[in-house]
Structures are given as structure tokens and as C-alpha cells.
Amino acid sequence: MKRLRAWFLAPTWVTMLALFAAPLLIICAYSLETRGVYGGVSLPWTIESYQRLADPIYLAILWRSFWIAGISTVLCLLLGFPLALFISRSGRRKHLYLSLVILPFWTSFLVRTYAWMFLLRDTGLINAALQALGLIHDPIPLLYNDGAVILGLVYGYLPFTVLPLYATLERLDSSLIEAAADLGARPLTVLGRVIVPLCAPAIRAGAILVFIPCLGTYLTSDLLGGGKSVMIGNLIQNQFTTARDWPFGSAISLTLMAMVLALLIAFVRRDREGLL
Amino acid sequence: MDAVLELRDVSKHYPEHRAVNGVSLSLARGEFFSLLGPSGCGKTTTLRLIAGFEEPTRGEIRLNGCAIHHLKPYQRNVSTVFQNYALFPHLTVRQNVEFGLRRRAENHMAQKVGEVLDLVRLTGKEARYPSGISGGERQRVALARSLVLAPDLLLLDEPLSALDPNLRKEVRAELKAIQRRVGITFLFVTHDQEEALAMSDRLGVMNAGALEQVGKPEEVYLRPQTRFVAAFLGALNWIQGVGVRPEATRISKRASQGCPATVEQSTFLGNCVRVAVRLSNGELATAEISRLEESFAPGDQVNLSWRPEDELRFE
């Protein structure tokens, strides 16, 4: 029995070691080496890359990334909650609505981001329509700013808050809602005192699922933010491509991972205590 | 009669069926009233109409003389104890009990909560969560949560059905005692006739959405107006065109008068003996007799008799 279990787990172990642990160790090593002349890394060992991270420029980018990811997460939750509530109460139609939420995943995120560019740019659909209607004279700058990045992130990650929230709301005992109303709670109080607190685990799960990928995004910020809206993901990408500074890119990656891990641990702790 | 609740020709029709059909009922202040019936008879729907979770298709519901059927649940001074108790799992016992009081911004909250927790013997469990207390305790939290609001009417939807049978009888007496003490009108929904008979001041038997009979327990049991009521409130023998309860059926080997029958089986039930007999027309009847009386064996030729006042006749 024990041997059988070992055999069943073997593929997972091999995959995890080869595709997860090994690259992580390599990145660890890179981050402590010196930048090679033509890219790559060379000796001697140094912690210079980590020291460079303390530069206010990079701290500002890090702060921006947390800020944009945070706003996007909050917006995803604010939009996702009513949507999930609506779907969970849609009776027979809920499966249709759920499929619609998942439908965008059928096409590539890159293609969908380009579609947003087509909509938002100065000569894009929205500006053209507004101009044709005579509502505006000059095009409104919709693309290449933080707003466009946040829009793209919220659009891309909204399903990740809707799905866990839906799963919880769907199973929510309707007699609890009736009991709250019966005890004198108005609909908004029922929402705030009963429904939202009971969704706390799903809210946490949704927040984690959105915040982490938003924090590391580079595609959305690159395409919708233009050159102006640099996030930490773009900075890392740059170190491995144009700047050819692998040790620094590795150091930022690891620092970001450590921060996310610390956040996750804090979240899980609160989860165990049963707090929102 | 000082009526707390009045239902006037209340109906609730769904596209596929008529859950409640023309129910009229009046509850006196302070009484313990049971709505009794098989599952699907409309008793729970009636309760939900009174609580405000459903709107009647037709008819009027009045509380203290004022029509309430158009009000939202949170606007009615009526409280419900749910079948599954519906305690808020994220709140402690104390917070559950405080929930309704907080919605009203009441004074002396701590004192009221303390009193009601004392009444239902939950003092010391205030800080527990519903998942950390027993089924009986949860039932008492649900009761306390409603009682603390001093509703005009307390609705109880089969509150004992989730408890194990031994506990059920104990809680029955306790619930009755609490009702006496607080003096609040209880409308108790159940499918258990023993529960309804034992606890109620009056009871109503429902069948297929309609109220078949309302009265005191003895009255409804001894003088059922319909065959359904008679059969639902206990076993019934059909002998020579009249109904007789098994415990009112006398059986004797010696008597020369009565209805002749042959004993099929005699079962010792502890507190009584149930004798099954076959009548000459081939139908079965049972008699529940004291073990101190004669004993019977299969094949015995016997005569059945009963007092004329124990005969049940229906149109």
C-alpha cells in the first residue's frame, strides 16, 4: 500500500521538483551573482542586486503595483459580489449565466486585451461613437493610463471573484436570510450582517486569486498602460530582455514572491481564527 | 375572545398546486395552538404566510386587528423558530440572541439577553458558537432569539423534529412551561399528533390545504368531524359502519353479545396489549387492552363491543 502510494505520487514529485523547485533555486542563485557582459550571469557572488532594490525609483514601482493590484481586487469584489448574488438567485438560468462568466476564457487573454485597445484608443470605437454623436469634440484619452490598466485587470480577473462567491452563495442556507428578516433586519442589514460575513472565506479566496496575478501582471500594463504605467512585472521582464540584468530581475522576482507569501500567511492565519 | 391573530379565508395558490385553500382561523391571546397535519398539507405554508415569507393569493391576515399580509417580515411583530433553527453560524450565542434587539436599538439589552438566556437555561454558553453546542441547546438559542423580542405571536415550525426522541419529550414539557411563563401566543406546526395533543390548548388539523377541524385536543380526538381527522389523530377500527378507537374497543371471550370475531394475534406492548382480530366480514380490527384483563391467543372466538358514546360517525 505504501509503495503504491509512492508510485502514484512520483509523477507529481518529479514535476514539482523539475518545474517548480529547480527554477526557483536557479533564480535564487542568479539573484546572488553578478551581471554578465552579454546578459546571463557570472561570478563573484554578491548581494548588490538586493541592495539596489532600495532605490526610491524601484520602491515607487513596487508601491504602484500594490496599489493598482489592490484597487483592481477591490473593484473585482465589488462588481463580483452582486453578480454572484444575482446568478445564485437566477433559478434555472444560473447555469447559462455562469457559462457567460466563463465564456471569455475561451479566447486568449492577449487577444482580449488587444480588443480593449481597439475600443479605448483615440480612434477607437468608444471615442469614434462619442464623436459621431457629437457628445465630444476631441477624443478622450482612454488608453495608456492607470485607469486603462485597472480596467483591463478587473475585466480579466472578475471571474475569479465571481466563481468562489457564487459557490458559497449558492449553498447559503436561505432560512438564515429569512431568519434575519424575521428578526427585524432590512434587506441591506441582512446583506451586511449575514450574507457578507458568511461569504468571508469566498471573499478571501477571490481576493487572493485576483490580487496575486494582478500584482505580477506585465501584459495588461504593457499593452493598456503604454510606457507610462510601469508595474513590477514590466520591470522584471525588462531586466531579462532589454536591460540584460538577470541578477537584478531575479532579485525583484524573489522579493515579490516573499512579499506575496507573507501576505498569504497573514490571510490564512486570519482564516483560521474565523475573522473577515 | 381577544384575538391576536386572525386569518380570513387565506389562500396561497402556486401554478401547480393550491398549498393553502381558504383557511380561516382565530388565535386567542396567550394560547398554545398547534397546526397539525401530514407533510404537504399546507401547515408550513400557512406559517410562512403569517411570518411574511410568502404573500397570500387571497384573503386577509390580521395581527391585533390590523391587516399585516402586505407587510414585509421585518415589519411584523411576529417571530419564527425555524425547523433547522437557522442560527447565524458566524455569531456567538449571545450575538444571535442580540441580533433582533440591535435592529430595534432597544434599551437594557444586556439585561434582556441575560433574562432570556436564564429562562432557556443557557447561562454560561453565551460565548459559544452554534457549532459548539448540542442540538437541544441550539433549539433553545433559537427560542431565546425570538422570545427576547417579545413578539405578539411566536411561530414554531416543527422545532422538535430535529431532536432525538428521548430529548423531544423532555423539551415538549419545557417548551410548554416556558410558554406559560412568558404568556406569548404560540402557533406550533407539527405532523406529530402526540406532540399536538400533549402541548396544545387548541389545535387545528389540516389536510390538502384546508383546515378540517379546530378545537381542544380532547374534543378533536374524541369527536372528530371527518374521517381524515379521526384517522390522523390515532388508529381507527371500522366495525359495522361506525368508527371505534382501539382503546375504546372491548373484547371478551365470555360475552354473548357484540360483534363476533376471531383473534389473529396478540402483541404485548409494555403498557398495553394489542389484540388483532378478524371480523366475520373478513375485515381486521384491533383492540388495545390492559394486560390485567383476559389474555387472548390466536384462534380464540371473541365478541367485540363498545360504549355508544365512543362511536364515531361521519357524513
The 3 state secondary structure assigned to B168-196 is HHHHHHHHHHHHHHHCCEEEEEECCHHHH
Residue A20 located in a structural domain: no
Task: Round the average pLDDT of chain B to a whole number and report it.
Answer: 90
- The DSSP H or E segment spanning A248 is helix A246-273
The sign of the dihedral angle between the CA atoms of A84, A87, A89, A92 is: negative
B55 touches A at CB < 8 Å: no
Q: Which residues of A touch B79 (CB under 8 A)?
A: 182-183
The sign of the dihedral angle between the CA atoms of A69, A75, A81, A83 is: negative
A185 touches B at CB < 8 Å: yes
Question: In percent, how much of chain A has pLDDT > 70?
Answer: 96
Q: What is the pLDDT of residues B77-134, one digit of tens each?
A: 999 999 999 999 999 999 999 999 989 877 888 899 999 999 999 888 989 999 999 8
What is residue A196's predicted lDDT score, i.e. its pLDDT? Answer: 93
Q: Which residues of B touch A180 (CB under 8 A)?
A: 88, 99
DSSP string computed for A172-192: S-HHHHHHHHHTT--HHHHII
Q: What is the pLDDT of residues A97-138, one digit of tens each?
A: 999 999 888 888 889 889 898 888 888 888 888 888 888 888
B149 touches A at CB < 8 Å: yes
What is residue B281's predicted lDDT score, i.e. its pLDDT? Answer: 83
Q: What is the pLDDT of residues A1-33, one digit of tens each?
A: 678 888 889 999 999 998 989 999 999 988 888
Distance from the A263 Cα atom to the nearest Cα atom in chain B, whole angstroms: 24
Q: Which residues of A touch B87 (CB under 8 A)?
A: 179
Residue A41 located in a structural domain: no
**Above 50 in pLDDT, residue A275?**
no
Q: What is the ipTM of this complex?
A: 0.84
User: Cβ B84–A179 below 8 Å, yes or no?
Assistant: no
Cis peptide before A44 (omega within 30 of 0): yes
Of residues B39 and B294, the one with the higher pLDDT is: B39
Question: In percent, how much of chain B has pLDDT > 70?
Answer: 99
Domain with A209, as residue range(s), is 47-268
Q: Which residues of B touch A186 (CB under 8 A)?
A: 74, 103
Whether B228 and B38 have beta carbons less than 8 Å apart is answered as no
Kindly list the distances between the CA atom of residue B249 and the CA atoms of A14, B208, B269, B272, in Å, as whole numbers in the listed order.
80, 30, 17, 13
- Give the chain A residue whose CA is nearest to the CA of B52: A182
- B173, three cell numbers: 414539557
Quickly count: other Cβ atoms within 10 Å of residue A182's Cβ: 27
What is residue A221's predicted lDDT score, i.e. its pLDDT? Answer: 84
- Give the chain B residue whose CA is nearest to the CA of A173: B86
B109 touches A at CB < 8 Å: no
Q: Which of B74, B113, B187 to mutate to test the interface with A (most CBs of A within 10 A)?
A: B74
- A166, three cell numbers: 457564487
- Report the C-alpha gap between A202 and A186 in whole angstroms: 24
User: Cβ A183–B145 below 8 Å, yes or no?
Assistant: yes
Q: Which of B68, B72, B82 to mutate to test the interface with A (most CBs of A within 10 A)?
A: B82
Q: What is the CATH number of the domain that holds A179?
A: 1.10.3720.10
Nearest to A208 by CA among A65, A103, A14, A77: A77
Nearest to A171 by CA among A99, A89, A276: A89
Residue A131 located in a structural domain: yes
Q: Which of A174, A178, A183, A189 to mutate to test the interface with B (most CBs of B within 10 A)?
A: A183
Whether A198 and B93 have beta carbons less than 8 Å apart is answered as no
- Give the chain B residue whose CA is nearest to the CA of A174: B86
Residue A33 located in a structural domain: no
Nearest to B191 by CA among B226, B215, B229, B158: B158
Task: Round the average pLDDT of chain A to a whole number and report it.
Answer: 87
The stretches of chain B forming alpha helices (DSSP H) are 43-51, 93-104, 109-119, 135-147, 165-182, 193-199, 217-222, 227-232
- Give the chain B residue whose CA is nearest to the CA of A176: B86
Distance from the B124 Cα atom to the nearest Cα atom in chain A, whole angstroms: 22
- Give the chain B residue whose CA is nearest to the CA of A181: B74
Domain count, chain A: 1
B124 touches A at CB < 8 Å: no
Whether A148 and A140 have beta carbons less than 8 Å apart is answered as no
Distance from the A176 Cα atom to the nearest Cα atom in chain B, whole angstroms: 5
Q: Which residues of B touch A181 (CB under 8 A)?
A: 52-53, 72-74
- What part of B 35-54 touches A (C-beta under 8 Å)? 51-53
Q: Which of B45, B50, B53 to mutate to test the interface with A (most CBs of A within 10 A)?
A: B53
User: Which member of B86, B88, B103 has the closest CB to residue A184?
Assistant: B103
- Report the C-alpha gap between A231 and A65 in whole angstroms: 5
**Above 70 in pLDDT, residue A272?**
no
Q: What is the pLDDT of residues A204-259, one digit of tens each?
A: 889 989 999 999 888 888 888 887 667 888 888 888 888 888 889 999 999 999 99
- Give the chain B residue whose CA is nearest to the CA of A200: B90
Average pLDDT over residues B146-159: 93
User: Cβ B80–A178 below 8 Å, yes or no?
Assistant: yes
Residue A275 located in a structural domain: no
Residue A84 located in a structural domain: yes
Q: What is the pLDDT of residues A155-207, one digit of tens each?
A: 999 999 999 999 999 999 999 999 999 999 999 999 999 999 999 889 988 99
Residue A101 located in a structural domain: yes
What is residue B1's predicted lDDT score, i.e. its pLDDT? Answer: 57
- What part of A 51-110 touches B (C-beta under 8 Å)? none
- B262, three cell numbers: 376471531
Distance from the B249 Cα atom to the nearest Cα atom in chain A, whole angstroms: 46
Residue A234 located in a structural domain: yes
Q: Which residues of A touch B55 (CB under 8 A)?
A: none
Average pLDDT over residues A84-91: 90
